[in-house]
Structure formats: C-alpha cells, structure tokens
Structure 1
Amino acid sequence: MPKRALILVEGHRNSGPLYVQAAQRLGLHPITLAADPAQYDYLAEESIEAIRVDTDNFDALTHVCSRLRATYDIAGITGFAGRDESFYVTVAKLCRHFDLPGPNPASIARCSDKFTQRQFLAQAGVPVPAYRLAATAMEVESAAAEIGLPVILKPAEGSGSSGVRLCRDMDELAEHTTYLLEGMYIWRSSPKILVEEFAKGPFYETVTMGDAVIADGAADFDPPPHFVPCASMFPAPLTEEEHERIADVSLHCLQALDLGWGPANIEFRWTKRGPVVIEVNARLPGWTAPQLIQLAYGVDIVNEHIKLVIGHECDLRATQSHISAARFLVPERDGILDRIEGVILAAAVPGVVEVRFYVEPETPIVRKGDDRDRIGHVIAASPDHTRTEAILQRAIDLIGWSITPLPLRGEKK
C-alpha cells in the first residue's frame, strides 16, 4: 500500500516546521516542492524529502505531482505564500486539478489582489478605508489629494508589509512612489499601487476556518512610517461585545469574498467608527500566531488545517483559556550583529515558552521596513494578561545584542 503524502509547495521559516511536524503526527509523509529547497534550513535538518521545481510554473508543478502519484498516495496539497499572496491561487488550482480538497481558486484570486478585495468588501457594506488604485506617479498624487494626507501606499499584491509605508506629506509620498515605480521594488507583474486612507486605531486580527471564527488577537508595531510588528497577543484584550463585533465583521468578510473553505486571517484597525477591515488573507497567519493560538485556546490550527486539506473533519473547539503573547526583537540600526546574550537566562524564566533568534552572530543586518526586520522573538503564556506581560518583560530585559555599524563608503574596516 503506497505511503500517504502531503505536498507542501514552498516553505516558511516559522510555519514550515510546524506543518512538517503536524503532517508526521498525522501519519503523512511531507514532501516539499520548492524553487530553492536550500533556503529552508529545516528540510535538511529534519531530512525532509524536497524536490526542486519552478513553483511559478503550474505545468511543472502538475508534472512533478503526477510523477509522485506513481509512488505515493497524495492525500492533500497546501503551501506557503512567501512574498506573494497570489501564490495561493496556484495551490488552489493544483488541488482542483488533482481533485483534492481545497479552496475555490477564483475566491483566492479575488482575495490576493488587494484592490479587487476592497471592491468586493465595500460593495458588501464591510467597513474599509477609502482607497484608490494607481499605476503612475501622477495617479498616486491625484489619489492622495482626493483621500487626504496622510495615506498608506502599498503594492496591490504582496505580503509581510513589503513595500507598505505611511506617507505623511507630499515629500514622503513622492519618495515612496519613486521607490515603488522606478525599479527598487520588485514586482511580479505590472505595478499596481493601492493608495488608502490611514485608519488610525489599535490593530486586531481574527483567525477563521471555514465559517468559524477560531481566535482573535491584538498586535503592535514599531513607529511609522513602516509597519514592522513588535508584539502580538491572543486573545485580544477586548470586551465581550467587542469580540462579538469583530467576529460578526469577519464572517461578513468571508461571505463577501466567498471564502467558505479553509483558513483566513482578517486584519482590523479599531477606529472612531469601529472595526475597519485593513486586509483579508486567505491563509493562516504566519510567524508566532499558530503557537500563540494553541497556547491561548488549546487549538492546533496547523494540525486542523492539514486535517481539512486531507479531507478529514476539523476540531476547532477551545480546550483552555490562557493569555499568550510574543515580543519580536527588532534592531534599531543596520550593521553587523556581533553579539547575542541572555537567551538561556530568558528561556529559564517561568512562563516563557520559547526564546528564538532567527540569525547568528556575524550576520549583516540591513533593515527593509517590513516583517523581515525581525531577528527573533520571545513567547510567554499564563492565565492572566498582566502576568503574561510581566513574564515577557522580565525575559526581554535579560536579552542583549549589539550591532557594529557598517563602515561608510571609503572608510577602512
């Protein structure tokens, strides 16, 4: 009898190992298809089968999967977005091609284009910021004038806050428009910029599976103009009425976008007019969110997603009620990371679940103004909000690192 395999298209530094481990616990053989498997360290470390293939080429992917079917019983296919949310459209098409459980490719496509997504949400009466689509510097300037400064400029496709910036005046608007349109930002297709109203207020998110809201959380960011996450917490510190309100808006989003299958991650700002939807991602949240949700609610969302992918029934019922939180370690300048200390001491603090650096000493640090700027995290959990925050702060205070500035051009090292 052939071994049952789970196909993982590409990988992810944080979520990838969770999917591999969950697949193995479910008795599946994980196989990663990637353009460059070597970029995912965990594949070699765990001796995970990996195949090099052009993951932008649908025909190449179907060819590899067809060849694998001669040896394995392919139970399901899923994947990771990397820097481009539209990548999930390819995964959805693969599921449909091989008659496997998966989302509707058309629903994923309308969600991955932020402008199209906004149109569907606005037409359904979901509260969203004012927005315009622009392809030239003149159109950007005109859109910003109509909406009113400050505005957010962002690529209409992408993820991880890449290319996203708050523009507070015309100089910042012109500077970031030049960055996006004149070759410094890498586009996968013709440039499309979303110009949107800056929705001021605390950031919240919900995580859904099918038509069920599993969890809600809060996050904080480093100071603008960029949006680099520095903290995350589940559940969000909201009243019962506020929890219900963002859950209702979340379900309204799913209906508007026809996202009736699989996971979604919906981001909000709570403004003067209540929760305003910033973005709907047709996937699970990345980074520490799966761990935080399991610690807070007792629900392993990666495990339950894989069960859905292979055609099994999910169990999304909460089995505990804790407060979990993460602090992200973000450098304040570019340079060479020459020292990391205090990790063992921080990890020994009662209530700390994980202390992790993503980089080693002697690594060059070049900040990009998005989630790639994070160099590590600390996770803690307890039954109480105040206690969890105190645990995190105690651990953070024990951690130290230093960055030697890069020499200026012409200076001797």
Structure 2
Amino acid sequence: MTVRSPQWFVCVESNTTGTGRLFCAAARAQGMRPVVLAKDPGRYPYLAEDGVDARVVDTSDEARVREVCRELAVSGGVAGVTSSSEYFVATAAAAAVALGRPAPDPAAITRCRDKARQRAVLAAAGVPVPAFRTVTDPAAAVAAAEEIGLPVVLKPTRGSGSVGVRLCHDRREVADWAAGLFGAANERGLPGGDEILVEEYVSGPEFSVETFDDELVGVVGKLLGEKPYFVEIGHDFPARVPAAERDALAACARAALGALGLGWGAAHTELRQGAHGPVVIEVNPRLAGGLIPELARVALDFDLVHALVARVAGTRRGLPGRGAGGAEEAGARHAAIRFVLTPGAGVVTSVEGLAEAAAAPGVTSVTVAAEPGDTLRRRHSFQDRLGHVLARGADGAEAAARAESAAGLIRVNSTVTEG
C-alpha cells in the first residue's frame, strides 16, 4: 500500500521572530508539510533547527513564486499558501488564488500595503485618520509639515515594524529625516520607493484591534518607548480601558476593514485615541506581530496561528463566541508582554536573570536571543527587541506588574560604545 505524503503548506518568506516558526509547527500539527520559499533561507535559523523544507526562490518575483507553487502542487499538492511577513502577504495571496486555494483578495491586500493609498481610501470612506500628505522630496515634506502643523510623523509608505518612523518637531528635523528615507532600503534590503508619508501626530494612547474574518479577537493596549521613535516595548491583552472605549475602538477598526475590502483571515489594526475618538493609524492585513497571538492564546485559550493555518488550508476555525468586549467580557485571563531591549551599541558579554524571570509568578514564557559575542546596534524599530517576558494575571494590572517585574530581572550586559 502506497502512503501518500502530506500536502505542502507554503510560506512565502517568514518573519525572523514570533509567528513564522509557529506557522510551520501548526501546519505540521494539522497534517501538512511546511515549506518556506525564501531568497535566503539562512535568514531563518529555525528552518534548519526544526527540519523545515525550504526552496531558494527570488520572492520579489511574483511570477516565479507562482511557478514554484505550481511545481509543488504537481509534486504533492498544495494545501495552502500564506506568509507571516507583511512584505509578502500580497505575493502569497496571489499565488494561492492562482492555485484555487483559499486566500484574501490580493487587490485588497495590495491596496492596504501602500500606506498612502490606504489612507486615501479610509479618508474617502469617512473613517477617522490623521491628516496626511504623500510627498516625493524633502522640500515637499517640509511644506506638508507646515500645512498640517508641527510636530508631524514621517514614515515610509511601505514599511513595517516602526522601521523609519519618527516624530519630527521642526523644519530641520523634517528635512533631514525625509532625506534619509527617500530611496532607502528597508531591513530586508527591499527598495523603499520614492514616496513617504507626512502625517498629523495624534498624541493619545495607542491600541490595536485584532480580528479574524468578521470576528473580534480583542483590543490590545500598547506601550511605546521614548520619543521621537515608536518602538513597541509591551502589550496588554485585553487593553485596560472601559468597555465603551473598547467598543468604540473595535467599531472604528471594523469600519476601516470594510472600507478596504478586507475581512478574510487575520487583520491587525493600529489606532490612537484622538481628541474626538479613535483614529486609525494603519491597517495591517495579517496576523499581528510582537507575539500578540501568543498573548491571545494565553488569555483566551485560543490559538490564532492554528486558526489562520487552518483557514489558509480551507478549514475555517471560528473563535469561541464572544461579544464586543472580547476576552475580558468572556471572563478569560489577562496577559501582558514586556520586551527586553538592546542596551545600546556594543558587544554582548553576558545575559543574566533568565532563570529567575522564568520562575517569577505568572510568567509563561521568557526568551532572549542575544548571546555573548553578538554585536548590538540600536535601530529604533522592532529590531531593538532582544527578547520578551510574557505573564498572565487575574486582571490587567496584575499581568502587567508581573511581566514588568520579571523583565526587570533580565540583564543583557555588553561593552556599550554608544547609547
């Protein structure tokens, strides 16, 4: 009797931390054979560590990605195609559609991935967004900043993970930062393009709304590092705000998804509380990063990664029935994550306190990727996060206090050469 090999579950590239590895593990757990298409598979050490198949593919070439997916379909069948990297979600969706596999609308994904285009669609639909201008040179950035009113936020139109995002207070800061953004490659070496976004600074607290298809997963409270940058240094799930505020944030996020034609699979919508209510900062047509899915798993006992992998493979796994209040309304636990940040440029000499942090009350996971000999550099983006502590609690305050206390036990010692 011939035993048929499991079908391929194709991941187009991956993120380097967080969910990429989990996607592959979930695919295996659901009886599929994960394979990662990557320009440089060595970028993802977990592939070798976990024995995950990889194919060297120029993933910037969408036609080539589709061709390789068709080859895999012939060689063993393809259960689904997706990506845990925001830069490749549109490519993966197009490949899935070409194979007749479940996927979000590639046109909606592409429309959403361009922040300037996304903003224009949301504004036209009446969804609250910051005042913004799309510019193509530093002089135009300065003019836009003066028109909008300083301070302003500058960002690439196709960025991710706070890379290149900065609060600028005066004309000189705007001109200098804009000059550095134009044409600059991102952290993957992909071209940055010839447009940047200049937008109004909304100074209220930041949140994200996590959705799956048309269902609310929950509202997340975000902690940011020191200005002028926007590095996320922690998350609270669910957000520690009144139910009415959560409802307003969720409603605003859903309006944004509807305007953009999204609503298939996972979406991660970032908002700030403005003077007159929630304001959408950006919609990301993907599962959240920053280990937010793990927060949701701890708080809800529901695995978003497994649910999304099943959705991509054609088996929808709905969320447990919940109202607009999400996890808190359902009486679930609360969870919080605090990130271990780089101490500055230098070379790591030692990492201490991991065992103590892992043994602290309520802590469910602790990681630090830095090792002695590693070279550190402060990048003012998600890349400054060296590790994390995740903790649960009976309420939001307890979960946050536990995560912060345990994270404070970890010390990444280095020969710091600059701050």
**Range class of TM-score, shorter chain:** over 0.9
After superposition, residues 63-82 of structure 1 pair within 5 angstroms as 63-81=67-85
- Alignment match of 1:334 (pick from 345, 360, 365): 345
1:347 and 2:365 aligned: no
1:304 and 2:307 aligned: yes
Aligned counterpart, 1:411: none
- Alignment match of 1:10 (pick from 3, 13, 20): 13
5+ long unaligned stretches in structure 2? 323-329
The SS at the match of 2:59 is coil
1:389 and 1:62 mapped to 2: Cα distance? 44
Any conservation in 1 of the 2:339–2:407 contact (CA below 8 Å)? no
TM-score (norm 1): 0.94
Aligned counterpart, 2:210: 207
- State the Cα deviation string for residues 316-339 of structure 1 (Å, max 9, x = none): 116761110110111242111212
1:225 and 2:236 aligned: no
1:54 and 2:65 aligned: no
1:91 and 1:394 mapped to 2: Cα distance? 40
Aligned counterpart, 1:379: 390
After superposition, residues 281-296 of structure 1 pair within 5 angstroms as 281-296=284-299
Any conservation in 1 of the 2:268–2:286 contact (CA below 8 Å)? yes
Larger CA deviation: 6-15 vs 317-326: 317-326
Deviation at 1:87, TM superposition (A): 2.3
Deviation at 1:206, TM superposition (A): 0.6
- Alignment match of 1:216 (pick from 219, 228, 235): 219
1:181 and 1:266 mapped to 2: Cα distance? 26
Distance 1:304 1:184, change over 3 A: closer
After superposition, residues 3-402 of structure 1 pair within 5 angstroms as 3-12=6-15, 13-81=17-85, 85-181=86-182, 188=191, 190-317=193-320, 321-402=332-413
Distance 1:187 1:52, change over 3 A: closer
Deviation at 1:189, TM superposition (A): 5.4
Deviation at 1:199, TM superposition (A): 0.5
1:88 and 1:51 mapped to 2: Cα distance? 18
Q: Give, as a single letter, the amino acid of the residue that structure 1 aligns with 2:413.
A: S
The SS at the match of 1:6 is strand
Larger CA deviation: 274-283 vs 15-24: 15-24
Say how many residue pairs are matched: 404
1:260 and 1:328 mapped to 2: Cα distance? 30
List 4+ stretches of structure 1 deviating above 6 A.
none
Larger CA deviation: 286-295 vs 170-179: 170-179
The SS at the match of 1:389 is helix
Any conservation in 2 of the 1:161–1:370 contact (CA below 8 Å)? yes
1:187 and 1:2 mapped to 2: Cα distance? 35
Q: Give, as a single letter, the amino acid of the residue that structure 2 aligns with 1:330.
A: L
1:335 and 1:59 mapped to 2: Cα distance? 42
Q: Give, as a single letter, the amino acid of the residue that structure 2 aligns with 1:191.
A: D
Q: Give, as a single letter, the amino acid of the residue that structure 2 aligns with 1:369.
A: H
Any conservation in 1 of the 2:219–2:238 contact (CA below 8 Å)? yes
5+ long unaligned stretches in structure 1? 408-413
Q: Give, as a single letter, the amino acid of the residue that structure 2 aligns with 1:382.
A: G
Deviation at 1:187, TM superposition (A): 5.8
* Superposition CA RMSD, Å: 1.6
Larger CA deviation: 182-191 vs 169-178: 182-191
Deviation at 1:86, TM superposition (A): 4.7
The SS at the match of 2:8 is strand
Deviation at 1:292, TM superposition (A): 0.2
